[in-house]
Structure 1
Amino acid sequence: MDGRVGAGAGHRPGRGARARRPRTLRALAVAPLLAASLLTACGGEQTAGRPTLNWYNFPDDSGALQKAADTCSKASGGRYTISYHKLPRTADGQRQQLVRRLAAQDSSLDILGLDVTWSPEFAEAGWIRPWTGAARRQAVADTLRVPLRTAIWQGKLYAAPYNTNTQLLWYRDDLVPNPPRTWAEMLDIARRLAAEGKPHYVEIQGAQYEGLTVWFNSLVTSAGGSILTPDASAPSLGPPAVRAAQIMHDLATSPAADPSLSNQMEDENRLAMESGTAAFEINYPFVYPSMKTNNPRLFRHFRWAPYPRVDAGRPSHATIGGIDLAISQYSRHPDEAFEAALCLRNRENQLAAALQGGLPPTLRSLYSDPALRKSYPFSGVVLDALETASIRPQTPAYQNVSIAISHALSPPSDIAPVSSVSEASEQIRQALRSEGLVP
């Protein structure tokens, strides 16, 4: 999850498909040849005698990614050209396209923009190259510690963090002069506002998708626990997970719950806050420029604070999102691709992506840049959150683990903390062992 509108927010595609008639022997014989010829045609593209490096990343409407591709192409001195290709808007669609093409050993893929949960899966499948030597040293230099963890699998660096993201608590200071520190405090304030007939909803991602897993993960880690054991071999859902599930249930069954909670994703939360019906919103920084543009009157009262704590004496650990840049195992120009990826995520391009696209950078030094501080008056809170952030479970089976969690905890109003956590634990165990059916 990274807060881009629609990114990671799509429902997972259906798994059913109509049965097809067997193809003829001739069709079966021709298909591999056709596929091979198509792959050959795609791979090794040249532009004026120099290789074209194909960069597949999320669709950016700000123009920052295209500008980075153009700038780095020029900086190469004619040794290569970077072609930016837009992946589907949802994270599920992005992963599906990359997996299909990498499984076919498509040599036209060079630089891959991976969601921060994909590196273990892609590395385990042998689809991406480890970063070593000088390239690794440059990728690690000045990079924030927690985002860097998302790109490491089995002790090896498999990607370079390109951007990151974390949720904050957004609130209206005309309703709440002082922001709450804990979830319990926030719910108490919401109940009081409701009794006074004032806007009082707490907007949060409650639909059955990745956002629900992110909410649960943030609460579990903030309660001192984790979803998986350190070696990612088994679920580790104990008392912290039950505490997390209780908070989710308490919110969903309180006056703080938006009537649409069980169907809401990041963008629905943004729209509800902008409409004036909510007092609080747990969301990514993209909501700030949106509120400024769409509701200038409320924008004057739109404030931010750290992610709520589970306990007053324990810091919160919001789950980070973002994109990491990896190099395809099947790229015909890996040396150039590593060089180009380092350019795409350098200081200038990360700053442009932050200012134009609202994507928090992964380079620590940028958080003291005057331009970023002016555009991101909350950048200090973001940096503090990133320093103590949590990451989602690192496992090649993450997709199935996430589905199991969101299935067991949906809808939040039906959560029975002990039994729901027990169900999630059993489904996670099956997912890690590739047993049973994915919900």
Structure 2
Amino acid sequence: MDRRARRAWRWRTLAVLPLLALPLAACGDDGGDSAGRTTLNWYNFPDDSGALQKAADSCSRGSDGRYAITYHKLPRTADGQRQQLVRRLSAEDTSLDILGLDVTWPPEFAEAGWILPWTGENRQRATQDTLRTSLETGTWKDKLYAVPYNANTQLLWYRDDLVPTPPKTWAEMLDMARALARQGKPHFVEIQGAQYEGLTVWFNTLVASAGGSIMTPDGQRPSLGPPADRAAGIMRDLATSPAADPSLTNQMEDENRLAMESGTAAFELNYPFVYPSMKANNPELFEHFRWAPYPRADADRPSRPTIGGIDLAVSAHSRHPDLAFEAALCLRNRENQLTAALEGGLPPTLRALYTDPALVKDYPFAADVLGALETASVRPKTPAYQNVSIVISHTLSPPSEIRPASAVAEIRGQINDALQSKGLIP
């Protein structure tokens, strides 16, 4: 991992960054618009589709004049988003009301006392028809601290002109890739092999698919074991086979998308955003672009791809928490989730939407996404997640040099050290 990435992901370092770096204008502004409505500030990822702004406007109009939501765009990178929120919450900034959190952040933010739990009627409304695994991402110590705004998960994308029947297991997929290579045809398996969060997600998915977990459910210690050895072995097998893209160690989601669109790959493990992109950028190849469930680690176990997405939380420092809870419920209601799916490409967290004709028309893979989400795995739930992720991606990079047993043993030891604040994060 390069020095810039290390600095970005060291969560303890970020937590104590000088508060003087905060804009003074950010703190203490109670706010209100010219119509006398209370201003609620919603901080979320930058959305270029306009779906988030439409949700803010719609909820503001429907508030009967009680509040107006101002949508603030956080930085584009996940580490930049987290850095800004951590700085301002550490400063007890009262101008933050509704927070869009990556699904790995709720335990850390809850443990720090920065976000409020969802209780009573608010919790009941937030959980109704919501996917169980999505709710799990926002739960810490049996309390719901953040409610799902959108979800995300990976599917297997493939070319049916090269592979008439998609593989069901990793072993089958690698065998197919080898056969295509011998025929001189496109044969790469595109996946996130760079030393970053995507590599951790790949490992987490394989561990869960092999019947294990990286950490215990309470987040107190590593679990790992034989399923982790199996997962690390699959990663090494891909990286040392003809299926590996020569750029594997530098590839993230977008590089995978571009490689598939260029015609050099037969398979891709990626998120649904690749479907409209292929349609727009390579219409000819799009005619052969298909999808299937994520491949299994073992034939007798279902795959459990890692869930992603954004959860909504209410700041513990908000001056208007009651209105913030109400507004957050509106932002993730059926209408706004459907808009986010159709215009922003964000898979919804409300189960009923996956059979809505309006969604299925643009999401012909909706049933497969729902199936993946209902059996999805969750990344380790711990306030020290950033450190855990760094340990995993550092140890498993590059994938071609993985020695499964020793790599897993190293991950176990370094996670233990991270949880006890011992040693240095690599």
TM-score, length of structure 2 as denominator length: 0.95
Cα distance, 1:236 vs structure 2: 0.9
Equivalent AA in structure 2 for residue 192 of structure 1: A
Give distance in 2, aligned partners of 1:11 and 1:52. Answer: 35
The Cα offsets for residues 102-141 of structure 1, whole Å up to 9 and x where unpaired, read as 0000111000000001000000000000011111110000
Aligned residue in 1 for 2:271: 284
**1:180 pairs with one of 153, 164, 167:** 167
Give distance in 2, aligned partners of 1:211 and 1:11. Answer: 13
Of all paired residues, the percent bearing the same amino acid is 74
Asked whether the 8 Å contact 1:12–1:92 carries over to 2, the reply is: no
Give distance in 1, aligned partners of 2:22 and 2:159. Answer: 56
Give distance in 2, aligned partners of 1:336 and 1:367. Answer: 29
Asked whether the 8 Å contact 1:218–1:390 carries over to 2, the reply is: yes
Cα distance, 1:255 vs structure 2: 0.3
Aligned residue in 1 for 2:144: 157
Asked whether the 8 Å contact 2:9–2:79 carries over to 1, the reply is: no
Aligned residue in 2 for 1:417: 404
Asked whether the 8 Å contact 2:8–2:80 carries over to 1, the reply is: no
The answer as to 2:225 corresponding to 1:238 is yes
Please report the RMSD computed on the Cα atoms of aligned residues, expressed in angstroms: 1.7
Aligned residue in 2 for 1:247: 234
Which stretch has the larger CA shift, 425-434 or 251-260? 425-434
Aligned residue in 2 for 1:131: 118
Asked whether the 8 Å contact 1:43–1:106 carries over to 2, the reply is: no
The Cα offsets for residues 372-427 of structure 1, whole Å up to 9 and x where unpaired, read as 11110000000111111100011101010000000000010111111111111111
Asked whether the 8 Å contact 2:169–2:297 carries over to 1, the reply is: yes
Secondary structure of the corresponding residue to residue 70 of structure 2 = strand
Aligned residue in 1 for 2:291: 304
**2:353 pairs with one of 366, 375, 381:** 366
Asked whether the 8 Å contact 1:12–1:209 carries over to 2, the reply is: no
Aligned residue in 2 for 1:6: none
Unaligned runs of 5+ in 2: 11-17
TM-score, length of structure 1 as denominator length: 0.92
Give distance in 2, aligned partners of 1:105 and 1:141. Answer: 32
Aligned residue in 2 for 1:169: 156
Asked whether the 8 Å contact 2:22–2:87 carries over to 1, the reply is: no
Aligned residue in 2 for 1:25: none
Aligned residue in 2 for 1:203: 190
Secondary structure of the corresponding residue to residue 46 of structure 1 = coil
Aligned residue in 1 for 2:65: 78
Aligned residue in 2 for 1:19: none
Cα distance, 1:14 vs structure 2: 5.5
The answer as to 2:365 corresponding to 1:378 is yes
Alpha-carbon distance change, 434 to 185 in structure 1, aligned in 2, over 3 angstroms = same
Alignment of 1:29-178 (within 5 A): 38-40=25-27, 42-48=28-34, 49-178=36-165
Aligned residue in 2 for 1:21: none
Asked whether the 8 Å contact 2:260–2:266 carries over to 1, the reply is: yes
Give distance in 1, aligned partners of 2:402 and 2:29. Answer: 50
* Moved beyond 4 Å, runs of 4+: 34-37
Alpha-carbon distance change, 54 to 212 in structure 1, aligned in 2, over 3 angstroms = same
Give distance in 2, aligned partners of 1:11 and 1:104. Answer: 24
**1:357 pairs with one of 324, 344, 348:** 344
Cα distance, 1:165 vs structure 2: 0.5
The Cα offsets for residues 210-256 of structure 1, whole Å up to 9 and x where unpaired, read as 00000000000000010012221111111100000000000001000
Secondary structure of the corresponding residue to residue 206 of structure 2 = helix
Equivalent AA in structure 1 for residue 218 of structure 2: D
Alpha-carbon distance change, 280 to 324 in structure 1, aligned in 2, over 3 angstroms = same
Alpha-carbon distance change, 12 to 347 in structure 1, aligned in 2, over 3 angstroms = farther
Alpha-carbon distance change, 65 to 195 in structure 1, aligned in 2, over 3 angstroms = same
The Cα offsets for residues 181-219 of structure 1, whole Å up to 9 and x where unpaired, read as 000000000000001000000000000100000000000
Alpha-carbon distance change, 15 to 35 in structure 1, aligned in 2, over 3 angstroms = closer
Unaligned runs of 5+ in 1: 1-9, 17-27
**1:270 pairs with one of 245, 250, 257:** 257
